Amino acid sequence: MVGKLLFDFVAEDGNIERKVFENPIKIVTTTSLQEVRKALDEVQQAVNRGYYAAGYVSYEAAPAFDPAYLVAQHLQMPLLWFGIYEKPTVKEEVCAQASFKIGKWQADTDRKRYNKTIQSIKRAIASGETYQVNYTMRLYTDFYGDDLAYYEHLRLAQRAKYSAYMDLGRFRILSLSPELFFQGKQNQISTRPMKGTIARAKQYEDDQKMAMILSTSEKDQAENVMIVDLIRNDLAKIPGVQTVHVPQIFSIERFPTVYQMTSTIEANYAMKPTLLQVFDALFPCGSITGAPKVSTMKIIAQVEQSSRDVYCGAIGYVEPEGETTFNVAIRTIWLDSMSGKACYGVGGGITWDSTEEGEYEEAMMKTRFLHKESVEFSLLETLKWEDGQFFLLERHLHRMQQSAMYFDFRFDRSKIMQSLEEHANLYVGQTRRVRLLLASSGSCQVESTPLLQTSRTEQVVALAKTPIDQEDIFLYHKTTHREVYAYHKKENPEVYDILLWNEQGQITEFTTGNIVVEISGQKWTPSRPCGLLNGTYREQLVEQGILEEKIITIEEVLGATKVWLMNSVRGFVPVRIC
């Protein structure tokens, strides 16, 4: 439906709030630079009359706010598009049955050209033309199917704070932006530029180290402070601004695939500025240009292969008596329904300390969510209830809490303990296998079944027929998303369990527990980076020195003196590999 817009922006309480705009009473759009200012005035007049306005301003609209800004001349989309609406409607659920198909993304810039461009940018830095250049490239692919379903898929994968979907007719925009451009409320305007990125690790402890590395990175702090200074100066240009301050600097924000460094800059004013006055002062956002803006945008226009269009522009809405919120349109895809093509822009800030390899890796890191599987799941712990207590309860809760922090699940320890105690009181004197499930909302569920005595006779197990993907994040956290285990178990359902291994031929774990092997009288278990869950019983025995960790090959396990499947419910189960 032309003019249907969805905004999934973060609210004051930290939750994502959906606003849906439909059936615009008027559309304001232009492909002419000379009409951009007039169009924004028209949007402001509609808001002054009590209407809502929602839409975007493209990167190439920048010269309308300062003729010194140079941009690409050949555009693929309108410079500006806004719908005028009576009001947003209530949250809408998207049909999960809708399907789509996406091809392989191909960059418009090969590695050789990319490296040459980095070298030319560093020469410009050396000559004093710029301090930092936000250099970007485009990725293209073919798209088929339901674009709104694709948006929902990406939104779940990215979990961004400023996502938006726009149906403009020929063009559809799917923005999964983590970055706030500006938000105006009462007598204050806030910006939150994002500069500094590092990939997340798969295990909680390593993941925390990555966040610490980013927070103390002198290179990323230098990039970030350059943009903070630039935006402070931009905010001071807004008519009526009285004070500008930085309440937060070098904050680290967590996303599914990366950590980002952000800073918050706020300005207070006596009289609320118009939309045009704000764009005059701030647009385009300094985090997607570099500094200083004028000379840096000239370099961008020279080295980039094509127009940015809505990418690196701003997407948002204006309320008649409330707030104005716009994102920086990064992590943004636009679809052309006429050609069936999809375009995604990606890049990063180039400084004197940048390396060709490092910048290319960072750019590719920002494409990971395009390939990330979008799944709904709960965190899971399986405990043994026996003799009036839960075995290794503290370790189970600690592991669940770490995974909750990793995936941004709410974790209320007292609420979980209460649920476990209430369930345990129903089965006093019994031995049970208990499942504790935690939803992202923080709601928990406890269920159990009688636990029969474990047989100590040797069980027959088999090697998996194919390797696991060591990069699968769900191998390192216990969740209800267990497709990889179910797939391998289904291949050979007659045996007790399946022994998994990775692409390097290294043993990892069973589908229902860790593995312990005895070699030359010593008990060993595979190292965690091989691709496995750190079982609570495994963790305890490693800490006690009963087990040692090391890489174990398939050949070694087949030649081991003894092999056990081990978990906190069954203990040690002797097995034989058939």
- The model's pLDDT over 41-67, given as tens digits with 9 standing for 90+, comes to 999 999 999 999 999 999 999 999 999
Q: Residue 149: how many CB atoms within 10 A of its CB?
A: 16
pLDDT score recorded for residue 157:
83
pLDDT bracket for residue 366 (50, 70, 90)? confident
Q: Which residue has the higher pLDDT, 14 or 283?
A: 283
Residue range(s) in the chain whose domain bears CATH number 3.20.10.10:
459-577
Residue range(s) in the chain whose domain bears CATH number 3.30.470.10:
379-450
Average the pLDDT over 435-442 and give the result.
96
Q: Which CATH superfamily is domain 5-371 in?
A: Anthranilate synthase (3.60.120.10)
Q: Which uninterrupted H or E stretch holds 210?
A: helix 204-215
pLDDT bracket for residue 94 (50, 70, 90)? low
> Which residues participate in catalysis according to the annotation?
179, 195
Task: Indicate whether 96 pLDDT > 80.
Answer: no
Cα-based torsion angle of the residue sequence 202, 207, 210, 214 in order, rounded to the nearest 10 degrees:
120
pLDDT bracket for residue 92 (50, 70, 90)? low
The Cα–Cα gap between 144 and 101 comes to: 5
Q: Which residues of 71-91 are buried (b: 16+ CB within 10 A; e: fewer)?
A: bbeebbbbbbbbbbbeebeee
Q: For tokens 């034989």, what's the residue?
A: 576
DSSP category for residue 288: G
Distances 38 to 182, 238, 313 between C-alpha atoms, Å:
21, 19, 18
pLDDT score recorded for residue 77:
97
* Contact yes or no for 268/98 (Cβ under 8 A): no
Closest listed residue to residue 570, CA positions, set 543, 536, 530, 546: 536
**Residue 396: helix, strand or coil by DSSP?**
helix
Average the pLDDT over 244-253 and give the result.
96
pLDDT bracket for residue 97 (50, 70, 90)? low
Task: Indicate whether 374 pLDDT > 80.
Answer: no
Peptide bond into 24 cis (omega under 30): no
The Cα–Cα gap between 167 and 148 comes to: 9
The Cα–Cα gap between 415 and 422 comes to: 11
Distances 1 to 22, 326, 343 between C-alpha atoms, Å:
8, 22, 21
pLDDT score recorded for residue 112:
94
Task: Indicate whether 304 pLDDT > 90.
Answer: yes
* Contact yes or no for 417/364 (Cβ under 8 A): no
Taking the domain 459-577, which CATH number applies? 3.20.10.10
Specify the length of the chain in residues: 578
pLDDT bracket for residue 284 (50, 70, 90)? very high
Residue range(s) in the chain whose domain bears CATH number 3.60.120.10:
5-371
Q: Quote the mean pLDDT of the chain.
A: 94
Average the pLDDT over 566-575 and give the result.
96
Closest listed residue to residue 510, CA positions, set 540, 488, 479: 488
Structure-block tokens of residue 417:
């303990």
The Cα–Cα gap between 567 and 514 comes to: 6
Cβ partners under 8 Å of residue 521, min gap 6: 561
Task: Indicate whether 95 pLDDT > 60.
Answer: no
Taking the domain 379-450, which CATH number applies? 3.30.470.10
pLDDT bracket for residue 322 (50, 70, 90)? confident
Closest listed residue to residue 571, CA positions, set 471, 462, 453, 419: 453
pLDDT score recorded for residue 93:
52
